[in-house]
Structure 1
Amino acid sequence: MKPAFIASTALLSVLLGRYALADDDCREPVNDWQPRETLRQQVEQQYGWSVQRIKVDDGCYTLKATDRKGNAIEASYAPASLRLRKLEIHFGDNGDARDYLDRPGAQ
């Protein structure tokens, strides 16, 4: 197996493991939601992602983006707190999970 595939699988297991038992739907009151633009600015400034789309799915903000290396990102956020609920990274040929594991706060 390719080392990048093994590393990306391990990364996704760690990141998604703590959300496995959580309900897939977000249930925050619409009046408490933050604007989509706030989420866009947050991920672009914090992670350097280029956001293509943010939509509402099952009451959550779901975004599609690419990172600085062109890896595809799919993420789900709680719309009021903008807390990350789910993250998928589809690494390209040059993708490396260490880019995400070496970040401060990565678990």
Structure 2
Amino acid sequence: MPAQLRVLANTVFKLSVQESSVLPTDAKVPVYQGQEFAIATYSPAENAHIQLVFSRSPFPSHPNALQWFAFKGHVELIDGERIMPPPQHPQSWSH
């Protein structure tokens, strides 16, 4: 069973870990508090982000984009009934 991702605050999923303010509109999608997504895999990423990989794109505006990034403080991972802490990547969390 894939892991679930729950959005804790209105935010954006991005195609890179850059600040959302510098990304073009087509490189990010808004997501809203309470939304949940099934994810195939996840891993730590730079700048306090989590890399998310979907089996199929949840965004009709980006049908071929399977890899997205989310700010770790805006989401939580749920594996079965267990809420998982964000994956750790010590080099990126300290910056």
TM-score by length of 1: 0.27
Question: Which of structures 1 and 2 has the larger relative contact order (alpha carbons within 8 angstroms, sep 6+)?
Answer: 2
Decide which structure has greater helix share: 1
TM-score (norm 2): 0.29
Highest CA radius of gyration, 1 or 2?
1
Between structures 1 and 2, the one with greater strand share? 2
